[in-house]
Amino acid sequence: MKMLRTIRFDASDDHIYEVASPGEEWAISGGAAFTGIDAQALQGKVRQAFANGFLGLGSFGRSTFVSVGEATVAQRDEALAALAAHLRDAHHVPQAMAEQAARAELDDACALAAELPIHTVLTVRRVLADGGEIEEEFRTIAAPTGDKPHAQIWSVVPDEGDDASASAVTSDGPPPAGERP
């Protein structure tokens, strides 16, 4: 069966999420974690996790990218048990409800993965719609074609200030159209 798996291309997730997935974890969308959130609470790293983060099912950290991977029934069952335990322990959801919610979330992620080839890379874009509804849009990232590999255009470098956790993103390429350097 196919499932979503977190991936890391660089260290940027460490700088934009409160807790970043280390990569290579089974994943779900994770949007349900924001159910009922007030728009005013969507600030800083919480906003970034809401807007673009998948939820890794090992660390329960966020990842900007996931890929479609092949999983065994045992791996799916382990991911399901981990998510249900997380819902129960971290969010105080009763056991029966935690298992039901975990199954629904994992089924949704598996349904998304089932339609795509192995190694397909995805991103998520989430918005808070009118009435507090969470809307999600998933996009695939196309692999390079022919003999032209992806070019690195961004680097994450530590800030030289007092706060070692701060970072800056620098461009190794031309600015996007319409922006000044």
Average pLDDT, the chain: 86
pLDDT at 170 over 90: no
pLDDT of residue 149: 54
**pLDDT tens for residues 84-99?**
999 999 999 999 999 9
d(CA 171, CA 175) in angstroms, rounded, equals 8
**pLDDT tens for residues 20-39?**
999 999 999 999 999 889 88
Q: How confident is the model at residue 148 (pLDDT cuts 50, 70, 90)?
A: low
